[in-house]
Amino acid sequence: MLHYFSRLNPFRAVRDLRRFLASRQRYEIFTLFGAAAVTWTIMWAFLIDSRSIEVPYQRNIIYVQSWPADRSDEAIKAQQSIDQVKKAEAIAAHEKRLKERQAKFKKIDDALRRWGI
């Protein structure tokens, strides 16, 4: 493997590129650079987009409650009503985050529609 890299020479690479470009028609060269520009633009857009949406770190710790076996039905129902309120708050917070994210994507979609995309 080391022998392979020792044969690489940047001057020969540039000379080879110049010979390749000299043997091509003008439209082929423009098409080559145009295709490379489009490819790099798409890759750059994906890179920028991957960094634009930050996902905050949230610890997801699940605690298990230990209940006595001789609990009454009233105690169970009271705890269920407390848990139902907490669950409704969590669902409402999740839906709010979902709506905010949808609004961001709608803003991007509207901008793309104005550009005709």
Q: What pLDDT score does 117 carry?
A: 81
What DSSP string describes 27-96?
HHHHHHHHHHHHHHHHHHHHHHHHHHS---------------TT--HHHHHHHHHHHHHHHHHHHHHHHH
pLDDT, mean of residues 58-85: 90
* Integer Cα distance of 24 and 117 in angstroms: 33
- How do residues 89-105 score in pLDDT, each as one tens digit? 999 999 999 999 999 99
pLDDT of residue 1: 57
Q: Which of 105, 108, 9, 101 is nearest to 55 (CA)?
A: 101
Q: How do residues 20-62 score in pLDDT, each as one tens digit?
A: 889 999 999 999 999 999 999 999 999 888 887 777 888 889 8
Q: What is the model's pLDDT at position 111?
A: 92
For the cut 80, the answer to whether the pLDDT of residue 116 exceeds it is yes
Q: Is residue 3's pLDDT more than 90?
A: no
Whole-model pTM? 0.41
How far apart CA 89 and CA 85 sit, in angstroms, is: 6
